[in-house]
Structure 1
Amino acid sequence: MGFFSKRMDKKLAVYQQELIQTHYQEVDNMYRQIRGWRHDYRNHIQTMKAYAAAEDWEAIRHYLDLLDEDLTTVDTVVKTGNPMADAILNSKISLARSKEIQVIADADIPVKLKSSEIDLCCIIGNLFDNAIEASLALPKEQRIIRIYMDMKGTQLYISFTNFTAGKKMKKEGNLFKSTKGEGHGLGLIRIDDIVKRLDGYINRNSEDGAFTTEILIPQV
């Protein structure tokens, strides 16, 4: 193994560790919000009981509206059937919403995966981060990320599509030329390394106004 190859492997290892830590913090923050809301649940009930005793129905309606708005910020939007996928998807959806990016997700994992959940976390996290980054270059009303996940026979199928600014990007090998810096490029390499190690398939397609990544990961 040459010097440059070792250097790249070291960079990837550091990047992977930083990425996992970032994802962990995002997921932990989301569940801290949920736990906080549950902790306050009894207080909310007591408050509404007091309003009901006073027959202050307008106050109850207003209080319920506030609770509904608060709960929406921590709601579990996607339920795939896989806890790791749920955690990373919902934390990233929350992050996208905070940046005024619309996310349309249809994700279902009806079987127990054979592949590592850490690998799944890295793939989904990188795909989502890249889609969010690209979306921020667009006006708010055009920021949309579409996600689809399901089993196709014995393979897990993952598809991410985001709208992009500008024209079709040029492809260099299996990757498209990136102007987003080293972190973005390492993320793409990391995805490719995982898919290759799992004997999977990856396809990237850039068209005017949209970028799609499709991945198949065998589960047998």
Structure 2
Amino acid sequence: MGFFSKRVDRQLQAYQQELIETHYREVDNMYKQIRGWRHDYRNHIQVMKAYAAKGDWEAIRNYLDLLDQDLTTVDTVIKTGNAMTDAILNSKISLAKSKGIRVIADAHIPVKLKSSEIDLCCILGNLFDNAIEASLPLPEDKRLIRVYMDMKNTQLYISFTNFTAGKKLPKLGGRFRTTKGEGHGFGLVRIDAIVERLEGYISRNSEDGAFTTEIRLPQV
């Protein structure tokens, strides 16, 4: 039993490290996109200065209209009040949208977290990965992930809901089964282990058409 426990723990640690490295790559990609936008807008300013020097105000108005349309596509920024949470949520939302999955997110963290930001990122990353994977079999117009985070009294409340292919997920040994391979299975175990260590609460509910995970983490 001791050998098996140590083996599982090593696998969990390896998976957690892989998860963190994946998150950092996603965040780095998001920041590269932001740097690209900054470079582009420097060029835009130079163009408008050139129009202004010629007094071509109609060209400036048209250019501003184009920029306004362009800005409406840069709508991935979620501001929770916690920088690392913002980075993970925005990178995952960007990933979901690239796969044709709509995301509705309402997330607020108005207090300094008692729990480790790395722990929270592991939880959020796994929840998003699971929701994205479960959404892919659906037609694009049916793909939707709802994310809600806020303080409820002294607890950080997290809710993830994604629509599924209309079947209630089966359970094995009291747990919902994952159909996505060993790594994802350890991800679910990791979420449970983090929530338990932080003396929190987790609930999963599968109803026809939707799967919801609710988590409460004490912050006092």
* TM-score (normalizing by structure 1): 0.92
Question: By how many angstroms is 1:33 displaced?
Answer: 1.1
CA displacement 1:88-117 (0-9 Å, x = unmatched): 001111111111100001111111111100
State the AA in 1 paired with 2:58.
W
Task: Look up the match of 1:109.
Answer: 109
Task: Look up the match of 2:38.
Answer: 38
SS of residue in 1 equivalent to 2:203: strand
Task: Look up the match of 2:193.
Answer: 193
Asked if 2 retains the 8 angstrom alpha-carbon contact of 1:73 and 1:94, the reply is no
Query: Equivalent residues in 2 for 1:2-13 (5 A)?
Result: 2-13=2-13
CA distance in 1, matches of 2:192, 2:131: 16
Cα distance change of structure 1 residues 175 and 72 upon mapping to structure 2, 3 Å threshold: farther
Task: Look up the match of 1:216.
Answer: 216
SS of residue in 2 equivalent to 1:217: strand
Task: Look up the match of 1:57.
Answer: 58
Q: What is the alpha-carbon root mean square deviation over aligned residues?
A: 1.8
Task: Look up the match of 1:143.
Answer: 143
SS of residue in 2 equivalent to 1:8: helix
State the AA in 2 paired with 1:176.
F
Question: By how many angstroms is 1:3 displaced?
Answer: 1.8
Question: By how many angstroms is 1:166 displaced?
Answer: 3.4
Cα distance change of structure 1 residues 7 and 69 upon mapping to structure 2, 3 Å threshold: farther
CA distance in 2, matches of 1:16, 1:192: 13
CA distance in 2, matches of 1:29, 1:84: 15
Task: Look up the match of 2:125.
Answer: 125
Question: By how many angstroms is 1:187 displaced?
Answer: 0.9
State the AA in 1 paired with 2:11.
K
Asked if 1 retains the 8 angstrom alpha-carbon contact of 2:76 and 2:93, the reply is no
Asked if 2 retains the 8 angstrom alpha-carbon contact of 1:51 and 1:59, the reply is yes
Asked if 1 retains the 8 angstrom alpha-carbon contact of 2:149 and 2:156, the reply is yes
CA distance in 2, matches of 1:84, 1:184: 22
Q: Give the unaligned 5+ runs of structure 1.
A: none
Question: What fraction of aligned residue pairs are identical, expressed as a percent?
Answer: 78
SS of residue in 1 equivalent to 2:84: helix
Asked if 2 retains the 8 angstrom alpha-carbon contact of 1:175 and 1:188, the reply is no
State the AA in 2 paired with 1:182.
E
Asked if 1 retains the 8 angstrom alpha-carbon contact of 2:166 and 2:210, the reply is no
Residue correspondences, number: 219
CA distance in 1, matches of 2:89, 2:23: 10
SS of residue in 2 equivalent to 1:35: helix
Task: Look up the match of 1:100.
Answer: 100
Question: By how many angstroms is 1:64 displaced?
Answer: 3.8
Question: By how many angstroms is 1:48 displaced?
Answer: 1.8
CA distance in 2, matches of 1:79, 1:139: 29
State the AA in 1 paired with 2:14.
V
CA distance in 2, matches of 1:173, 1:19: 25
CA distance in 1, matches of 2:68, 2:100: 19
CA distance in 1, matches of 2:177, 2:96: 24
* TM-score (normalizing by structure 2): 0.92
CA displacement 1:20-49 (0-9 Å, x = unmatched): 000001011101111222233322111122
Q: Give the unaligned 5+ runs of structure 2.
A: none
CA distance in 1, matches of 2:104, 2:189: 26
State the AA in 2 paired with 1:13.
Q
